[in-house]
Amino acid sequence: MMEGIGFIAAALTSTAFFPQAIKVIKSRQVVDISLAMYVTFVIGLISWIIYGFARHLLSIFICNIITLIPASIILIIKIRAILNAKRMSSEKFMNHP
Amino acid sequence: MMEGIGFIAAALTSTAFFPQAIKVIKSRQVVDISLAMYVTFVIGLISWIIYGFARHLLSIFICNIITLIPASIILIIKIRAILNAKRMSSEKFMNHP
């Protein structure tokens, strides 16, 4: 019974980021997405993966690799959007000397 | 050494949602936030809390309660925004019979 709830918990928290990644891939809109959240979260996931690997904790290793896929996609799209916005604002500035 | 990485991992993934919650509380803009992600994630966190409580796993219990605070705030603001948008669109419809 309790192992079932643990399994459901792991499945839900590991896969939750996929709908957010799909939404962001489709819309390319990330204004409301927090850069600080995804930087912190991705570093946290990588730390969990290192920990799971070193301690031979297969479930921690695999669950965090699954979550890392959508989380890093969201982070990359967010960073690109910030860089694009900066580039566009500097081009705008150059066009208006 | 490895326990240190595990501690850092837990601290980062547990607290990552706070900057997103602060951003959403300040801006009230949640268009880019995925409802499916936060519904899935909050149910997952509650499952982890039940699992941690039943198995007397204090770190799992506490870490997931910490994460539940910002995640549920984001979910509530997202649901409110959807309900407000629905109400406004139905009022608009009633004003144009």
Q: What is the pLDDT of residue B1?
A: 80
Selecting from B9, B18, B44 the residue whose C-beta is nearest the C-beta of A47 gives: B9
Give chain A's domain count: 1
Residues 51-70 of A with CB under 8 A from B: 51, 54-55
Kindly report the CATH number assigned to the domain that includes residue A84: 1.20.1280.290
% of chain A surpassing 70 pLDDT:
97
Task: Take residue B57 and report the two structure tokens written for it.
Answer: 């796993």
DSSP label at A29?
-
Calpha distance A68→A17 (Å, rounded): 9
In this model, does residue A97 exceed pLDDT 80? no
Average pLDDT of the residues in B77-83: 97
Angle of helix A35-54 relative to helix B17-27, nearest 10 degrees, comes to: 170
The predicted complex's ipTM stands at 0.89
In this model, does residue B47 exceed pLDDT 90? yes
Cβ distance of A19 and B6 shorter than 8 Å: no
Cβ-Cβ contacts under 8 Å for B67 (sequence gap 6 or more): B13, B14, B15, B17, B45
Tens-digit pLDDT profile for residues A14-57: 999 999 999 999 999 999 999 999 999 999 999 999 999 999 99
Confidence of residue B91 (pLDDT cuts 50, 70, 90): confident
Average pLDDT, chain A: 94
Average pLDDT of the residues in B29-56: 97
In this model, does residue B44 exceed pLDDT 70? yes
Cβ distance of B16 and A38 shorter than 8 Å: yes
Q: What is the pLDDT of residue B94?
A: 74
Which residues form the domain of A66?
A: 2-95
Cβ distance of B2 and A55 shorter than 8 Å: yes
